[in-house]
Structure 1
Amino acid sequence: MIDTLLIRIKALWLSILARIYGRLVQVDALNTLGNLGTDGQRNGLLLVIGLSILFSIATPGTSHAQCETITLNGTNYTVTVNLSLTEIIVNGDNCPYGYNYDVGVEYSVVFGGSSPPPNLDNLQGNIHCGGQNLFFSIPTNGSGSYVVSNGNQYQGDCDVPPTLEALSCNRLTLNSSGPGMSYSSTSTTCEHENTLPVIWNEFQISYSGNTKAVDLSWSTFKETFNDVYIIERSYNGISDWEQAGEIEGAGWSDELKYYTFQDIKLPAQGGGRMYYRIKQVDLNNAFTYSKIVAVDIPKLFSAKTWTVYPNPAKGQAVNLAYQGQTFSNSHEKITLKAFNATQQFGNITVSNPQEADIALKTLLQNFQSGLVIVEISWGDQLERHKLML
């Protein structure tokens, strides 16, 4: 009786392992059938094994490896390629004689610069898993987000689980060429998730015409020792990054976490492409970067010298942007006036556009919701703006 119970426990344990590693261990469970004495005992164990097979057919390894960002340079354009290895895909079920596998790859391709082409000539490479290479190819126009290698490599040792880490899938080579871009072969390392401080889920971006702002949202599967997210942006290129804001991280988390940020201080000239990335900083000040995303910004402002935004404000802080020639006359004062239909009124005089931006926020603090007229005068010039608070 005790022996039979131990055998049943072994079969259940093997079925749990099968949920993790696929069906590679189920043959061991089947071998235990010979140790059972009656048909009833065999039928009971067959039910357990059958259920384990039902829930574990073609179960892939679930490890994840983020690769270093690759930047390609062409004539008057750049291409930023972000790659991550997401899973091991077992092709068939050959154990106890080994198994064949491929690798799933998530990617994003961002074209930048003044004259980007519609597509490249070549964008393909190899994933290096130990001494084995698995070929993959990305659409040359950067469309899509996921591909599977077609290497179908063979692993003869069933004791090696089908995970990226166990198979030493930690490096890839990307081959590329395009218009005004000579052929290049770039190698990059891929860091497994158990060593990454943050496991990213999604990073999305959009421009809102109503608020004249860029909305960012991202989520993470896991955070370890994570302190803060610093949102960085670059205008019409990926070489001149500046901080747009920051959001506090979760510290430690094994749950799905969601974050949002709104960038309302866009360049006054508008009409271009904004690039964003997130700098994740640990509690010990070590840091990593997210992938780079981009959004096109329409021409935001009119021919006026000053812009008041967002408009309507909808409870947000109001900004004042100067978009004329360099404000170099230190003796030329700027006077701001604000008034509405309920006879609320205020005015203030400052020395430069930076002070004017701060002053307008102060001026509007006590105004009621509704239409406000903002009057700006400097030198012999004057502008009026209608603002909805």
Structure 2
Amino acid sequence: MVKGYKLQIKGLSILIGIFIHVQFSFSQCSVRSNKGDYTVEISLSLIDVNVLSSAPCPNGYNYNVDIEYNVTYTGTNFPSNGLDNLNGNLTCGNTNLFFHVPSTGGVGTTTTAQNYINQNCQNASPQNLNCNTATLNISYYGGGDGDDIPYQTIDCPPIIPSALDVSFLYSDLSVDAGYATYSWTTASEKNASHFLIERMGENQNWVLVDTVKASGSSDQESHYFIDDKIYTEGVYYYKLREVDNNGDTTFLDLKHINYRPERNLTVVPNPATDKVKILGIEKGDKVVSITTANAQQIDINSLELKANDSTIQLELSEFQKGVYFILLSSGRSVKFVKI
């Protein structure tokens, strides 16, 4: 069962520095292929305005923007190796901020390509910087059957948010013993109803993990966390949104983990006579060395090794009787006895 918890800390929280964390909302656009077999769906979320100076601001400041992207395909015969071209421009006032999105798509974060200068010393916010327009350049000519996407520029305008009900400080995502723990902290809250925590696995579908009640209206730090059971290995994304008492929703955070449960490394049979199997191998794991109890190295290049994603089989016809230690590329080791 997934449960959410909140801790309240009394006192005054003081933030020093000019790094300014600004929250935005999602925008979405799509492009259909020539023949209509597939559609490219693109969501952009402007997460952070990064002010790149800790000094006082007499003459403006440098900044860039972190952008979360989610590129998915619907339909059939879509580009298995990615698009030929996918990049864009975010317009903040009179400044165009170029950004690149990996042509293979998926979910991730990109940053505008260079530092830009804001000529005044107002707080960095979407309203002050006028970040109200985004375009994407997209193309694909590798279909072979003519089901391509001609080079084109499409509008993908971000939504300009109103003042946030929640002052979001930071979050953390960790995994242990098959449970992902997602925690977050707010500096203050106003008119906040609850938080939504969603998860997306490799099937590219967002599912609601939990709903956690917010403090409501508070000028104190509030701490929250949820535990989420993970059953299979893979990459998992967690998205945090806040819902106010009016039903309006604001995106706050996106994090991901690569869950690879540790498998118990064993050798069977042990002791052995003619062959052994090493069980609990990680995907891509290889035998690095085999050493005797007297620290003598065995030439592994002359051995017959049969491997898959979970086991390695080793023939022992060339081995003398004794104790052996096997070292894997993951750094794990295991011992067996030849009799």
Query: Which entry has the higher C-alpha Rg, 1 or 2?
Result: 1
Q: Tell me the TM-score normalized by structure 2.
A: 0.49
Greater length-normalized contact order (CA 8 Å, ≥ 6 residues apart): 2
Q: Tell me the TM-score normalized by structure 1.
A: 0.44
